[in-house]
């Protein structure tokens, strides 16, 4: 078995925004995957916004939702910790 951290983020602008699978990372155990997800929630650089000013990290069951405020817009991405079965 392996554990995955999956990054999904908003792409596009205006009415063209959509969710996209951006990154996947595989780990041997759950503890490592959870630690990496927490690190990525604080350090991952999403495609949008181009000029990030601040971020809010929200932890929930199975992962994180991160809200990134840019100079002119706000985007968000999520990190999920998942077990391959």
Half-sphere exposure of 47 (CA within 13 A, CB side): 14
Per-residue pLDDT at 49: 82
Tokens encoding 44: 């991952």
Q: What are phi and psi of 23, to 5 degrees?
A: -145, 150
**Tens of pLDDT along 12-67?**
776 777 888 999 999 999 999 999 999 999 999 988 888 889 999 999 999 999 99
Tokens encoding 67: 């809200």
Per-residue pLDDT at 26: 97
Per-residue pLDDT at 34: 96
Per-residue pLDDT at 1: 84
Q: How many structural domains comprise the chain?
A: 1
Per-residue pLDDT at 37: 97
Per-residue pLDDT at 17: 75
Select from 62, 42, 65, 64 the least CA-distant residue to 54: 42
Domain of residue 44 covers 3-83
């Amino acid at each position: 078995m392996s554990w995955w951290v999956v990054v999904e983020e908003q792409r596009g602008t205006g009415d063209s925004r959509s969710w996209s699978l951006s990154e996947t990372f595989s780990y041997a155990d759950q503890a490592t995957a959870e630690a990496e997800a927490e690190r990525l929630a604080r350090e991952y650089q999403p495609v949008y916004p181009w000029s990030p000013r601040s971020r809010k990290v929200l932890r929930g069951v199975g992962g994180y939702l991160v809200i990134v405020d840019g100079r002119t817009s706000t985007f968000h991405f999520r990190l999920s910790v998942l077990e391959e079965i």
